[in-house]
Structures are given as structure tokens and as C-alpha cells.
Amino acid sequence: MQVISAPHEFNATDLYVDLASVVGERLILKCEGFNFAGSIKLKAAHAMVSAAERAGDLRPGSTIVESSSGNLGVALSIVACNRGYRFICVTDSRCTLASRQLMQLLGSEVHVVTEPHPVDGLLGARIQRVRELCAGVSDSVWLNQYANPNNWMAHHQLTGPEILKAFPDLGVLFVGSGTTGTLMGCARYMREHKPSVRIVAIDAAGSVTFGGPSQTRMIPGLGTGVRPQLLDESYVDDVVIVPEMDTIRSCRQLARRGFLFGGSTGTVVSGATAWLAEHPLAADVSAVAIAPDLGERYLDTVYQDQWVSDLYGPGALQEAVAAESH
């Protein structure tokens, strides 16, 4: 039995799914969505808030201001209301309705940016709005998940050790790239404790994180319009770029086997499967991918046929099913 007094104290960290029968490759999925925030972002949210409290930046009556595409906003909403802080989340039109409603239910204010920055896109516009709010709100703190070292340190202290303890034979680790906090924390841990592990970053098509051209992206979570300050590519061995229709196909493939995961997870699984198809693993090593989130918040987007058809064309789903059957 586990009895808790704060929501961050519960997090299922040792749940893994063997996807071999689903994706046709030897791939283990670490499930990070079974907590009160529904995503891996609870780790970073708690770490950043706790560090700000220790530094004296957050005090009773303080206001947290942060940019988020959804998952971190929900996680910070939970931590903030539990600790008595006001929280303002700046998001954009891609944030799912479910995420916005959850944040508001938890007492947070949600500002939705609709006009992109002329150079840095919607993320740049969100960051600009955060700076404006901080300038106008007394005793406000921008945690800045894109540059805050406590973001990656949470995964260096928790996620990396959890994976290596469960799979000491780890050969390759697949990690999605958003702020790159999870990626950098896990990669640094593996470099220190098992440098033979190959680190494969999974990014969304249209993201500029690894130098690709900026393009419109509709699925929140992975990918950025501004290169993350946390990223150090020297810790990354390979990068796989995943088109959004491949993300949708992967999500739906998992759902047909009863596993309802979010868009970020679909991207990671799609990228990991593609990489493994070209890089067969030795029999004595394991491949692990990190699943950042669950799928309920994507029911009106990734899992909604009309949404997919409107954005990617009326034949997109049929083409995805046909490709999967081959």
C-alpha cells in the first residue's frame, strides 16, 4: 500500500510494454504517463519548482509563468495548486482542448497564442508573451523549461537510473526531443554509467532542433521552432525525423492492440521502429523507448478521423492503413 500527501509522490516508474508483437521489432516501451499529470513532465515540473523554492525565487504569493504545448502546463498546474502558487500557462492553438481544460480546472490561467513570431514561429510568440507577462505581473517567476538545468537533471537523477536498473543489458535508448530535457538527462546518465548505450533522438518533421527547416506542425509535444538551449548534440548518436502521418499511424497501430498512447509516444515508437529496421540488434542487448504520455488528451485530434482528414487530406488514413499492411 502507498499513501501519499502530494500528487507528485505517485509515479509508476517501473512499467514497461514489450512491443515486439505490435511493431515487429524487439522494442521495450517505458511508460511514463501513469501519474496525476498523465505524462513524464511531472518529473521536470516538480524538479524546477523545488529548485526555485530552494533558491528563494518562489515564495508564498509568487506566480509561475511558463510556456508549454500542454503536458508541462498540466504538470505545473498540479504542482502549483498543490503548493499554493498562481500559475499562468502560455500555450498556442495546437494545445489540445483536454489539456487546456485540465489546466483551467486546476486553477491555472491559460493564454493561447495564435499568431506566430515572424522568425521563431509559435514557440517564439509564446516566449515573447511569457516575457511580457513577467514584466507586468509582480513576484512572477519564469521557470524556462527550455534552458533550466533542473529539467534535464530530473531525468539524470530519475529516468536514466530507472532504465539502466531495469535493463542492465541496454544497447540503444530512443528518446523524443522537445525541450530535450529528457534526452539530455538520460544521455548524460548513460554516458557516465554505460557509455556503450547508443542514444537515438526522435524528432518531429518540421522541427528546427537538429537543424532541419521549420515547417508547420500540428501535433503538440515533440519538436521546436527555436533550438533548445539545453541541447548538446555531442551526447546524441543518431537522429530520426518522423512525419506527422507516421506519428498518427503509430498511435493508431498501438490503439488497435489496446494501448492508448499520446502523440509524443507515437512519434517515438515510429522513429524507434524505423531505426531498428535498419540497425538489427545483437541478441544480448535490449532496446528501450520512452513513452512520454497517454492518449486520452488526443481523442479529438490524432484519434479523430475528421481532424486527420482535414489536415492531411481525405486519403491520408487509407494510405496509412495500406502502408501498414505491407
Is residue 98 over pLDDT 70?
A: yes
Q: Write the DSSP symbol of residue 168.
A: T
pLDDT tens, position by position, 264-311: 999 999 999 999 999 999 999 999 999 999 999 999 999 999 999 999
Residue (of 238, 264, 190, 219) closest to 29 by Cα position = 264
Tell me the CA distances in angstroms from 298 to 202, 221, 252, 304, one per residue in order.
20, 11, 11, 8
Q: How confident is the model at residue 322 (pLDDT cuts 50, 70, 90)?
A: low
Query: By mean pLDDT, which of 102-111, 152-161, 215-224 is the weakest?
Result: 215-224
Looking at residue 127, what is its pLDDT?
92
| Strand stretches in 40-83, DSSP E | 63-67
Model confidence pLDDT, tens digit, residues 218-257: 888 888 888 999 999 999 999 999 999 999 999 999 999 9
C-beta separation of 76 from 89 below 8 A: yes
Q: Is the pLDDT of residue 321 over 60?
A: no
Per residue in 121-142, pLDDT (tens digit) is 888 899 999 999 999 999 999 9
Q: Which of 160, 2, 157, 7 is nearest to 82 (CA)?
A: 7
For 230: left if phi > 0, alpha if psi spans -120 to 50, otherwise beta; the answer is alpha
pLDDT digits (tens, 9 = 90+) for 7-42: 999 999 999 999 999 999 999 999 999 999 999 999
Cα distances from 31 to residues 24, 139, 183, 261, in angstroms, run: 19, 36, 15, 9
Contact 63, 56 (CB under 8 A): no
Give the whole-angstrom CA distance, residue 13 versus residue 175. Answer: 16
